[in-house]
Amino acid sequence: MQIRPFRLSVLSLSLLIPAALVAVVLFLVVYSGQAMLFNGLHFIFNINWNLGDLYSDPVTVNGISVPPGANYGILVFIVGTLLSSFIAILIAVPLSVGSAIFLAEAVPHRIRPVLSMLVELVAVVPSVVFGLWGIAVLVPFIGHYLSPTGNGYGLLASAIVLALMVTPIIASTLLDALMQVPKENRESAFALGATHFEVVSKAMMPMVRTTLIGGIVLALGRALGETMAVLMVSGGGINILPDSPFAPISTIASFIVSQLDSAEADPTNMSVRTLSELALVLFLITLTVNATAKLLTSGALNVRKRQS
Amino acid sequence: MSASVSLKAPRSVLELRRAVVSNIGWVACGLALLLVIAPLLDIVGVVTFNGLSAFSIQLFTKSTGGDTNGLLNAIVGTLVITVFAMLIAVPIGIGAGVHLSEYGKNKLGGVIRFLSDVLTGTPSIVLGYFSYIVFIIGFGWGFSLAAAAITLAILIVPYLARITELALQQVPNSMREAAYALGSNDATVVSKVVLPAAAPGVITGTLLGLAISVGETAPLIYTAGWSDYTWDGRFTHAPVAYLTYVIWTFIDQPDAHSHALAYAAAFLVMLVVLAINIGVRLVVKHGKTA
């Protein structure tokens, strides 16, 4: 085979992408190896996160050196991550479906691009600016009007901020799909005497259902890994499962950030290793969700659409 | 707006109910749109108002620390981190995009595309933590510009590759064939014909990558660290300040002076990110209609 230097060089550049991904997974796995041995599998179901006594001499457990009293339970963070994201999706779905329908059908052609650009811009506002707005506007609002304790930081604030951040993902996916529904389908529904809203809700929405679900799962993947905005409004609850919408929570991502200082103080590095394991757990969760979204949108599971 | 409005007086209870349900439906949809756009306008309003009231020339001449009103170290840091991240990401991202578009119509291309999507979907904090254990702990660089720039580059490359690929796909095949027929080799076809024709798309991708790197926080916390001094030219063993750090830590300080700086930083970051995104969208739309 002929050697083509140009093709080889761009190929090697593009191979850097898989290489980076493999390196990320590999180093997280290797680095968290000792933590996996120490924590076992039950740390997923344990709610108690304790760095142990960092100033005493480390003790040796099963041949692994850890600070005395160290115990790394991550259930609180898994629950916080899943719960805040699911509530966010519950809020985001009606918002984005309503906005997409309104943009597709009710808005005059001239202002549609402006409004749909505004919706898209919600997605590009940096996470940390959302967090700032959360602290300045949303948290005081929740604390003043909704929360019985007067504290606005917590699960609900996190979920609302997350919902706002992922709404544009669902809305723009759905808007694109709605605009592609064939004219004939709309017109036949009108001809049957349906009102305009019935045309949208009963004739058009069923056609874009798969796309909608794909968009929702994609948004879920984004919400699960969101860090800064959640960190700033979540209240940083640890060692207790949330029992109300106003309870402080931590997500895996926000917890990793918040642990930087204490992890650096650990002479055995075991907490740094466990955080690495935690990052791996987050990676696996988002990978599963994103892969599901990809299967849904690529049409591998899209039997209904193919038949019609 | 809706067809039901134009209906004559309803003839039956059922028809009346359908008309009412439809109108309620439209109102609900309109409210949903309002609830999505209103927070955006509120964010822009709150940040602009508070940011502008904290604005002074000192922001650009003095560094943080003590009682100064400066953000110079953070502004310089964000600029330097972004420039070096882009210097790494642009050649790799565009090169990968060229490969995927021009020679990637096979199994290998499919695998690279899939793994690139996986990397795009990976939470940025995971990438940041990876860099922490490899560059900061493993290589012993300490919090540093090099670690921060590489981390952001890992984040941006898959976006850039995908946008470049899509842009190159828009170039008609006849142009490639014409160039090959004139005796050009692969490099000439791509650099003289395909890339110039797809330049607007590639530049769009680069600008969006720039906006991402200016607005990101999570991957920098574990890599760049923080410093009250302006960047001293070292790539390793020297933490770097950046604007988004100011936003999330200074807002937690008790004093109004720190809050003002947080808003000023948020205003600068938001200005850059929104300007790039609005500009890109307007230009792209203009190009389509022209």
Please indicate whether, in this complex, the C-beta atoms of A118 and B37 are within 8 angstroms of each other: yes
Q: How many whole angstroms separate alpha carbon A296 and alpha carbon A298?
A: 6
Please indicate whether, in this complex, the C-beta atoms of B216 and A171 are within 8 angstroms of each other: no
Is pLDDT above 80 for A27?
yes
Please indicate whether, in this complex, the C-beta atoms of A279 and B91 are within 8 angstroms of each other: no
Predicted confidence (pLDDT) per residue in A47-88, tens digit: 888 888 887 788 887 778 888 888 888 999 999 999 999 999
List the single residue in B with minimal CA-CA distance to A11: B99
Please indicate whether, in this complex, the C-beta atoms of B262 and A132 are within 8 angstroms of each other: yes
Instruction: Over range A34-38, report the average pLDDT.
Output: 87
Please indicate whether, in this complex, the C-beta atoms of B29 and A106 are within 8 angstroms of each other: yes
Is pLDDT above 50 for A307?
no
Strand partners, A307: none
Range of weakest confidence among A54-58, A158-162, A172-176, B167-171: A54-58
Helix, strand, or coil (residue A146): helix
Interface-testing mutation among A6, A190, A286, with chain B (most B C-beta atoms within 10 A): A6
Tell me how far apart the terminal alpha carbons of chain B are, to the nearest angstrom: 30
Mean pLDDT by 10 residues, chain B (290 residues): 53 88 94 96 95 88 80 94 96 95 92 93 94 92 94 95 94 94 92 93 92 93 90 90 93 89 95 94 65
Top pLDDT among B288 and A161 is at A161
Please indicate whether, in this complex, the C-beta atoms of B190 and A6 are within 8 angstroms of each other: yes
Is pLDDT above 90 for A308?
no
Strand partners, A243: none
Give the mean pLDDT of chain A.
89
- pLDDT recorded at residue A35: 87
Is pLDDT above 80 for A305?
no
DSSP for A212-225 reads HHHHHHHHHHHHHH
> Which residues, other chains included, contact B201 with Cβ-Cβ below 8 Å and sequence gap of 6+?
B163, B164, B166, B167, B168, B170
Nearest-10 Cα torsion for A300, A301, A303, A308: -80
- What's A180's DSSP letter? T
- pLDDT recorded at residue B244: 94
CATH match of A80-248 with 1.10.3720.10: yes
Please indicate whether, in this complex, the C-beta atoms of A24 and B122 are within 8 angstroms of each other: yes
Place of tokens 């207790």: A240
- pLDDT recorded at residue B2: 47
**Residues of chain B found within 8 Å of residue A178, distances taken between Cβ atoms:** none
Three state DSSP letters for A51-70? CCCCCCCCEEECCEEECCCC
List the single residue in B with minimal CA-CA distance to A283: B122
CB A132 within 8 A of CB B251: yes
Top pLDDT among A169 and A268 is at A169
**Residues of chain A found within 8 Å of residue B270, distances taken between Cβ atoms:** 125-126, 129
Q: Looking at CA atoms only, how far is residue A95 from chain B in angstroms?
A: 5
Please indicate whether, in this complex, the C-beta atoms of A28 and B32 are within 8 angstroms of each other: no
Please report, for residues A168, B17, B52, B194, the alpha-carbon distance to residue A98 in angstroms, rounded to integers and kept in the order given.
12, 21, 34, 41
> Which residues, other chains included, contact B135 with Cβ-Cβ below 8 Å and sequence gap of 6+?
B141, B144, B146, B147, B150, B223
Is pLDDT above 50 for A98?
yes
Please report, for residues A96, B213, B226, B256, B263, the alpha-carbon distance to residue B250 in angstroms, rounded to integers and kept in the order given.
33, 20, 12, 10, 9
Give the one of A132, A195, A257 whose C-beta lies nearest to B22's C-beta.
A195
- pLDDT recorded at residue A293: 87
**Residues of chain B found within 8 Å of residue A119, distances taken between Cβ atoms:** 33, 36-37
Top pLDDT among B252 and A261 is at B252
- pLDDT recorded at residue A299: 58
